[in-house]
Amino acid sequence: MNQVWIKKSQDKLKEEVFRALEENVSYIDKSILGVPASYLNDKVFNQDVAFLKDAPFLSALVQNPNHIGCHTLGASESFFTGTHAIEKELIEICAVDILKGNIGEQDGYIASGGTEANIQAIWIYRNYFQKELGAEQSEIAIICSEDSHYSMDKASNLLSISLYKYLVDQEDRSVKKECLIETIALAKTEGKKYFIFVANMMTTMFGSIDDIELIVEVLKEQEVLFKIHVDGAYGGFYYPFSNEESLLTFKNPAISSFTLDAHKMAQSPYGTGIFLIRKGLIEYVNTKEASYVEGEDFTLIGSRSGANAIAVWMILCKNGPFGWYEKIFILQKRAEWLSKQLDKLNIAYYRNSFSNIITIKSASIEKDLAEKYYLVPDNHTKPKWYKVVIMEHVTVDLLILLVQDLEKINSLKS
């Protein structure tokens, strides 16, 4: 049963957003002299009350609240308490109702995207290993699969931590125990003792999901110290709904944090990555030098738009949890439909049964056809795979055009 996430009418959303904006300080009504911030530039952006009165998101954009810092712990900037409370509720919806955490037991914030949220997690665990266990920088490793997103490469580079990628099965993209053991063994021989493991909840190219039970089993068998972050940038608003038995939740004690991206499956504006972590860990990246920020800063980003949090909160509350299940159910049905058509045509592809990404082997589809439908390759110079991503706008009426073209080519070959 959902605890925080409830469906709300458009009128209710409007009322709550406008009330929150009123609880923020107003650059118009108050004498705000001390902050390097203001409402959006009124030479360009219409501030007309009549124009904005039915538009809570646009009103938030125009009023431009800054959500700098993390609002799930300690104090925050008092200027924007109204909209901070909306962000706090959004974090709770994601941590509790989507990822099955207990109320009040997670921290989090709206990051610029999945990249930042992944880097934030790795930054926290690096500092945790150093501060709590006396780890040397050179003894810490990031470990993830070859299918993981390239933000792990960025994190490795930025934070100066070695990155080890284990190979997956080339056909079913699954974690292979022997490959994982081999990679950990290599890292150990290179002096690594502390492992920041990033597990995938739907990979970028394949939509594949890592076997968390196997990963934890191997890490324990190998007797290494580890922290696990789950990259659900793509899958976070999909997989928990397509697989209700998911083990990638806060109920799993081995997992400490998650990345979810609302600007992918939730169709929110860019700038809406979501970082969630069990309480007691985000403090390892508190930048105490942020002394002019009320409550200091536990985030990587610094200033960020409060309108982004409001957009995601509105999207989730307008749909409600059951609406979200229905949305994912329809995408699953479309993905199943396309899989069946590809099976009939003997086209080689990969799809995890809980996912809406269908990745076709490049040998099974002409380059021109892939380009005609804007299918994204795994590699632009030497593609081995092309993916179809079944988003909201990718209806069966669109998918059938691709299927018909594939049928034509098949009939010409036979």
Ligand X SMILES: Cc1ncc(COP(=O)(O)O)c(C=O)c1O
* Sheet with 385-389, edge to edge strand ranges: 349-350, 357-361, 385-389, 376-377
Which range of residues in 49-57, 109-117, 181-189, 311-319 is near ligand X by CB under 6 A? 109-117
Q: Which residue has the tokens 């501060």?
A: 131
Residue (202 or 402) nearer to ligand X, CB: 202
Residue closer to ligand X by CB (options 118, 242) is 118
CA atoms within 13 A on the CB side of 361: 12
Query: Does the footprint of ligand X cover residue 206 (CB under 6 A)?
Result: no
Q: Which ranges in 222-305 belong to alpha helices (H)?
A: 239-242
| Out of 273, 295, 306, 377, the residue judged to bind ligand X by CB under 6 A | 273
Whole-number minimum distance, CB 264 to ligand X, in Å? 7
Residues 41-60 that bind ligand X (CB under 6 A): none
Tokens encoding 261: 């991206």
H or E, element range at 89? helix 81-92
- Cβ-based nearer residue to ligand X, 52 or 233: 233
Smallest separation (angstroms) from ligand X to the CB of 92: 22
> Does residue 387 belong to the site contacting ligand X (CB under 6 A)?
no
- Residue 213, token pair as written in the block: 């039970």
Q: What CA–CA distances, in Å, run from 393 to 27, 219, 396?
A: 39, 41, 10
Question: 57: Cβ–Cβ under 8 A, 6 or more apart, which residues?
Answer: 17, 307, 310, 311, 314
Per the rule left: phi > 0, alpha: psi between -120 and 50, beta: everything else, 135 is beta
Q: How far is the CB of 237 from ligand X (least distance, A)?
A: 12
State in angstroms the smallest separation of the CB of 248 from ligand X. Answer: 13
Backbone angles phi, psi at 402, to 5 degrees: -65, -45
Pick between residue 233 and residue 365 the one whose CB is nearest to ligand X: 233
Contact letters (x/-) for ligand X, 150-179, by CB under 6 A?
Answer: -x----------------------------
DSSP H or E stretch at residue 385: strand 385-389
Element (H, E) at 130: helix 114-133
Strand boundaries in 233-347, DSSP class E: 255-261, 273-278
- Nearest-10 Cα torsion for 299, 27, 40, 290: -20
Exactly one of 14, 149, 278, 304 binds ligand X (CB under 6 A); that residue is 149
From 77, 210, 261, 297, residue interacting with ligand X (rule: CB under 6 A): 261
By the 8 A CB rule, do 264 and 234 touch?
Answer: yes
**Residue 151 or 305 with smaller CB distance to ligand X:** 151
According to CB under 6 A, which one of 82, 113, 240, 321 is a site residue for ligand X?
A: 113
- Tell me which amino acid residue 389 is: V
- Supply the minimum distance, in Å, between the C-beta of residue 378 and ligand X: 12
Choosing from 62, 135, 212, 233, the residue that interacts with ligand X (CB under 6 A) is 233
Give the 3-state secondary structure of residue 155. helix
Number of residues that bind ligand X (CB under 6 A): 13
Among the listed residues 129, 206, 226, 234, the single contact to ligand X using CB under 6 A: 234
Q: Are 144 and 163 in contact (CB under 8 A)?
A: yes
Binding status of residue 114 toward ligand X by CB under 6 A: yes
Q: Which of 106, 115, 246, 362 binds ligand X (CB under 6 A)?
A: 115
x-marked contacts with ligand X along 184-203 as a string, rule CB under 6 A: -------------------x
**DSSP reduced 3-state for 44:** coil
Q: How many angstroms separate the first and last alpha carbons of the chain?
A: 54
Q: Which is nearer to ligand X, 271 or 321 (CB)?
A: 271
Q: Give the closest residue to 258 by CA, choosing from 143, 102, 98, 140.
A: 98
- The answer to whether 204 contacts ligand X (rule: CB under 6 A) is yes
89 is an interface residue for ligand X by CB under 6 A: no
Q: How far is the CB of 388 from ligand X (least distance, A)?
A: 15
Query: Closest separation between CB of residue 114 and ligand X, Å?
Result: 3
**Distance from C-alpha of 370 to C-alpha of 372, rounded to nearest angstrom:** 6
Q: Which residues bind ligand X (CB under 6 A)?
A: 113-115, 118, 149, 151, 203-204, 231, 233-234, 261, 273
